[in-house]
Amino acid sequence: MDFINEGYINSLIDDDSLENEYLQRDIIKKASEAKGISLRESAALLKISSLEILEELFHTEKEIKEKIYGNRLVLFAPLYLTNLCVNNCLYCAFRKDNKELKRKTLTLDEVEEEATFLVKQGQKRILLVCGEHPKKANIDFIGEAIGRIYNINFNGNNISRINVNTAPLSLEKFEILKSFGIGTYQCFQETYHYSTYMSMHPYGPKRDYSWRLYAMDRALQAGIDDVGIGALFGLTNYEFETLALLMHAFDLDRKYGIGPHTISIPRLEPALNAPVAINPPHAVDDISFKKLIAIIRLAVPYTGIILSTRERAELRRELFALGISQISAGSRTAPGSYKESQESLKQHQLEQFQLGDHRSLDEIVRDCTTLGYMPSFCTACYRSHRTGDRFMELAKTGNIGKICVPNALSTFKEYLIDFASDETKKSAEKFFNDELEKINGSTKNKVEKMLERVDSGERDVFF
């Protein structure tokens, strides 16, 4: 726990001098340079109460996100291997003591069926959610599942990046996980507040706070280039959770020169027979949620901030403009659920938590373009070895967009040709052409040639 200093975090939360509006405005101005801000400066922004300054915060957040990532939104979907679990987290429907939940673990054939369904929807990247069950979701099974998914090919389309969310592993097992060709390793601390963590995890391997906290250190030491951290907001004071999450990001960057590739900010949602989820002890309202997302963007401008389908569609639309750079789309949170209707899912009671956005991938793609955001299915950095410190160098200097924009256009073109509905094709046509016109010089010629290759039937075309 040496880098999560609860005493220092609480002193910042209690420091009334940080409520100074002149100080807050100066911090926002400094943050506009997209070089990051300190923990103390982040704490000052958490204390913003003026609606005028709050709008300045949101405006700056949008500018920083667009400076580094442009108007792109990277799309993905989760794929759950099992809902069996050896832990008893009080906020999760998958907890061991939940006798009402129907349990299921996918076979390798079912994994392939689920992933094939996602490929046929147009997805290029998935988050493989493995849970924690030493027999049902062991490292060998995860490796076999990843192999099956990577081997899928549907008319030249496939899943070309598999990010993995699994329980913390030993250094040796992280090395094995890396050998499977994964993208980002993702694991959430859930809550960084120690006493809250212990009360939320009454028994099971997950009760070991430090083992989970140092999972990212072991993953990076094992050679996994990209890691993703996160917290489940609603378990404790959101100000504490935000500052602790940033403290984790700063520590990784200091020790390895590689901050988190992604930061996830899920809020606690209702879940079957999960007592804490039904009545969140520290529910986060929408304004506070927007504020904490903005502060994370200002503090670690290089990171990808992930927004899940826990949030309702209306709020997701607002958050697209406030620093979010990656979104799940067409998600299901139960093993084997992609072929089922929402009604059958309710009857089977398989899901981990209640979703807020039930729209299909096609509907979300259409909505993004209508709002002026480019859906990106690109996985080029992963295949071109622009990961870890190479990616961070490009992101921190704001140069990643020079590569991402052409590749986003290429993958979006593939989606429009192969998977989009007629309504989405019609809606996206003007948007696509307008985005192409923004590119100048020799880059535009290269992009046009890429798009010609896509039009002629070639797939997976990237810089």
Place of tokens 């250190």: 217
Q: Tell me the average pLDDT across 298-303.
A: 95
Residue 435's pLDDT is what? 92
For 12-48, what is each residue's pLDDT tens digit? 999 999 999 999 999 999 999 999 999 999 999 999 9
Residues 6+ apart with CB under 8 A from 220: 227, 252, 256, 258
Domains of the chain: 6-65 (no CATH), 71-381 (3.20.20.70)
Cβ(326)–Cβ(73) below 8 Å: yes
Q: How far apart are CA 82 and CA 114, in angstroms?
A: 13
For 186-204, what is each residue's pLDDT tens digit? 999 999 999 999 999 999 9
pTM of the model: 0.94
Both structure tokens of 154? 């549907």
Residue 289 has pLDDT above 60, yes or no: yes
For 402-435, what is each residue's pLDDT tens digit? 778 888 999 999 999 999 999 999 999 999 999 9
Cβ(2)–Cβ(209) below 8 Å: no
Q: Tell me the average pLDDT across 171-190.
A: 97
Range in 146-155, 213-222, 275-284 with the lowest mean pLDDT: 275-284
Residue 349's pLDDT is what? 62
